[in-house]
Structure 1
C-alpha cells in the first residue's frame, strides 16, 4: 500500500503571489516547496515576463519547443496560476477578495503602483489586519531612490559587489564583473522568505499581520558580509582579487599541468599539510608563511611559489593527494558536470516533474532537507491561467460569474 505523503511545514498557509521575474517568485517558490498553497496572479495573454525569456524553452515529447521558457520553469513550481487583468475594476475586486482569504501577499510592483488599484499594503492591511504583506522592490518603500526601478545587474554595481568581483585591474581581463547568476534577486527572495516566516510567527502569537519591506539594494549591502565588515573596521574598501580570497591565503584557483583546481586552505594545519604534499615542509616553518596573517601579508611571495609547485603535476594528482590529507580543494565543474556529480546524484539534486506540455521536465531540487516535513514536488510550474477556474471556485465564485468574467476578458 502506498504511504500517504508526509506533512509539510507550511501546510494550510495560503499565499497570494503578485510578483514576477525572479526575487518574488523565488521567495514564493520556497514557501510553496515548504507546503504553502501559492496562487500566482498573472496578466492574461502574457503572464510572468520570464515565460518568454528564452531560448531555451521546455521541449515537448517530440523534441519541439513549447511556450514555457526554462527561466520561468526554474522559479515557479508548486504554484497555481490565476490570470486576472488588474487594470479592470472587476479584476481588482477579485484580487481584493482573494487577499481576504490568504495569510500572505507578496508583490514586487513599483512603489505606488498598486495604490491605483486599491491593492496597496496600507489599504489591504486596514481591511485585513492579520494579513502579512511582503513588498519587494529595488530600493525599498523609502529613501531618495524609492521610485526607481531596480534590476539585479544594476544593484550588483550600485551595491558594491562588482567592485570586488572579477580580476584585478592590473591583470589581463581585469575590471568589474557581475556574478554569473542574479544573486541580488536570489538573496532578496531568500531574505523575504525568512522575514515572512518571522511575520507569520508574530501573527500566530498576536493575531496581527505586518508589512515586510524588502529591497534588492539593502540585501546587496547586507550580503557584502565580511567584505563590508573589512571596510568598516579598516576604513579601506576592498578591491577585486580575482579568484583569491581577501582574508585567507592560499585560498584560490591554481593551474596544474593539465587544468585548474581550487585550493581552499582554511587554517595553519591545513597549510602545513599542503606544504608536505608539495614536498616543501620548510614553507610551513617559514615565519613569513607560518600563520594566515603572515601569509596574507606575504601573499605576493607565497602564491608564486605555490603556483610553480602545483604546475608540476596533474589536477588529478593534486585533488587525490589533497583530499586524502583533508585539505579543502575541488575541481571547477561546468553546470553539466556539477549536476552529474556523484554527490549531486546522491543528494537528489535534479527532480523530474510531470508537466502538461512535457512528460520529461526536470528541475533543480530544493536544497532544504527536512527530516519530518520534507519538501514535496506537488506540481510543475503552471501554465498561464491553468488554475483560474479552480481558484475562483474555491474563493466562492459561481460558474456563471467565472464565465462572464472570462467572456469580458477579466480573467483567462
Structure 2
C-alpha cells in the first residue's frame, strides 16, 4: 500500500522535545522523483557526492532522489573535508548538498582558486552563523551554492533557490518548491489571517512530500496540520509574487519587541559589526517590563569587551526597543548534533539568559567582560 508508513525521522529537538515523523512510501517516492527532476539529477553525466547521514531527512531525501534518477552516488560514511575534496575531483562530482560548515571546510583545505570545475550546484543548509558568507566565498571560487528549505515533516529539499540567480538571492534560505503540487503560504501567528506576499508570518506548507503524522502522537499530529492539509512549520518567513518564499528563522526564535515581530538576525548582524565581536546569538527573555532581547557573544580573538561600549554600539544603530537588555560572553554556543547537522540550541540560550538576569538582580554589574 503506497500510503503505508515506510520510514521514521526524528525532529531535531532544538526548540521542543523531539518527535517521530512517519512518512509513507508514496511521500518518499513522489518527493524523490520531484527532487531528481528539479535539481537536474536526471542529466546523464550528473554525479552526487553524498556527505550527509542517511538516517536524517537531509541525507535521505538526496539519496532517494539520486536513486530515482539513476544518478551515481559517492557516499561518505563520515564527512572529512580532505577526503571530500579528493572525491569531488576524482569522481567528477557535479552536485552535493550539505551544511554551510561542510562547504566552508572543503574550500579551506584546497588551494586551487577554482578547485571543482565540473561542479554545477549544491544546496546548503544555514546552520552556523559563522559561515553566513559561504555563498559569496564559494561563488568567488567557481562553486555555485543555493539556499534550501525543508523539515522532517515535509522532507528536506522541499524547496531551493534558483541556481542561476545572483549571490544575494541564492544565499537566502527558502526558494521554490521542488514539486509543482506543493504550495507555501504565510499566516499571521496572532490574528490567524493568511498574509499577502511580503508580509512576515508563519510559513505553512503542503505537498506530496508531507508526512503521515507523528508516530504514536495523535495530539501533536492534529495540532500541526491545518484543516486543509497544510503543515504549520513553526518557521518565520514570507512569500513572494513569483512563487518563491523566504525562510527567516524559527517562530520561537523571533522576538516581539515594542509591538513589532523582530527577527533576531537583524540585531545579530548589527552587533557583529563591532570589531571586538566574532559571533552573536540573540534570544528573547521575559522581564517585568516585557519581552526584551538578550545577546550571547563570542568575542574576537584577543579582544576585550566592555558592556557599556557594546550596548552603546547597539543604541547608535537601532531602535531603543531592539537594544539587548543583557550581554553574556561564551567560548562557544550550545549545540545539538542531529542527523541533519549541528544546530544551535536557542532554547538552551533562553534558559541561560533568564538565569543570568535573575543572578544579576542579586549581584552588582561590572562593565568589563572578559572571555
TM range (shorter): under 0.3
TM-score (normalizing by structure 2): 0.27
TM-score (normalizing by structure 1): 0.25
Give the number of the structure whose alpha-carbon radius of gyration is greater: 1
Higher normalized contact order (CA 8 Å, seq sep 6+, divided by chain length): 1
Structure 1 or 2: larger strand share?
Answer: 2
